[in-house]
Amino acid sequence: MMNTKGKSTKKRLLLPFDFLGLTVLLIFLLGVGACSNKTQATNKVEKKPSPPPKFDTSLVFNNVTLDQADEAGRRLWTVKAKQATYSTDKKTANVETPKGDLFQDGVLVLQVSAARGVVQEDGKTIFLQGQIVATDPRNGAVLKGDELEWRPKEDLLILRNNLIGTHPKLKATAKEGRYFSRPQRLDLQGQIVAVSNDPPLKMRTEHLIWEIPQEKVTGDQRIQIDRYKGQTVIGQAVGNQSQVDLKTKIVTLRQNVQINSIDPPIEIIGNAVNWNLNTEIVASDEPVRIWHRQEQVTLTGNKGQVNLKQQVAVLTGDAKGFANRNQAKLYANQVTWLFPTQQVQAQGNVNYQQVNPPLNLKGPTALGRLQDQSVVVTGNSGGNVVTEIIP
């Protein structure tokens, strides 16, 4: 099968390894450093770096097709290359402009192409470099980058440098990506920007896991999520942990969560918040705080819900309201806040306090505006109003 360099031959070659692939040839230098303990330094033997493989110019094949199967006879890969050159020990093969199919359990999982590549160490690792394109035909995901490493036994495809991942649901860029072909999961790392068209979102973080079949994007590091309407940002959310369900269009945020809305101009702060992008409802079953930036009014509660579309908030469980301008305070079991009118409706154990003039009202219900001290506490069959005038 050996040809002199320059000859053209179209052959199907079975390479003598368990797995085969392509990439940039990496030469590992193995060495054992000297021990810092001088008494043991003389007992240490330093290993010399392994020499790079020598390539035989007589082992050059043009326009080749390479095939490899596993022990069960299932196809591992098929690669076509413009040229293949083998090392003298036949453990390394350099290939030019490779295009091929990669298989797992006999099923096609990836189609790859690159400018050049290397197969090393009995095909346990495949390296590719330059103009890399890897496509998963099962889900339509396309991965591009400058370097690719394929580890068949680990079911792992690693892409480094200028990674771009595209899919009908999401487009992402990152420093590095690890794609697990069996679960069809992409692990993105470093300087990540992920953009979704439906719902229109942009995510920025340092680590994301994209489960492509489930249409879920999960993060365990601080993330910023921008919500768009056309080209305009209409809301922004941050949190230490996140999950974006692209199918249900629900954003789940945990730990140090803050959601900023443009209209209404409010901030929602808590530790566990769900944002339904379909209904524009932000909800939390844990303590939550809402601050109106223009009116300088804050409401808190043990749990709450904000309808951004209807511009109304409902807080329950030890609900409190505070107007920063005049120090007016409101306490109740439940408070409903209408943002367009700034009217608050309080129910259950209402206690309204103001400083100037000093006044304290208690009763079952209340209605009014905190920022101009126009709160009216009313009674019903369940209780009377108690007025305390503080001298």
Among the residue ranges 35-39, 87-91, 292-296, 324-328, the one predicted with the least confidence is 35-39
Q: Tell me: the pLDDT tens digits for 4-13?
A: 333 344 444 4
Using a pLDDT cut of 90, give the percent of the chain over it: 58
Among the residue ranges 219-223, 262-266, 311-315, 375-379, the one predicted with the least confidence is 375-379
Domains present along the chain, CATH in parentheses: 294-391 (2.60.450.10)
pLDDT given at position 74: 82
Using the CB atoms, write b or e for 28-55: b if 16+ within 10 Å.
eeeeeeeeeeeeeeeeeeeeeeeeebeb
State the DSSP H helix or E strand holding residue 39, giving kind and residue range, or none if neither: helix 38-41
Average pLDDT of 75-101? 81
Q: Say how many Å lie between the first and final Cα of the chain, rounded.
A: 106
CA distance 181 to 101: 13
Amino acid of residue 208: L
DSSP state of 114: -
Say whether pLDDT at 265 is over 90: yes
Average pLDDT of 248-266? 96
Average pLDDT of 260-283? 96
Task: Please give the full DSSP string across 322-374, using - where no structure is assigned.
Answer: EETTT--EEEEEEEEEETTTTEEEEEEEEEEEETTTTEEEEEEEEEE-TTTT-
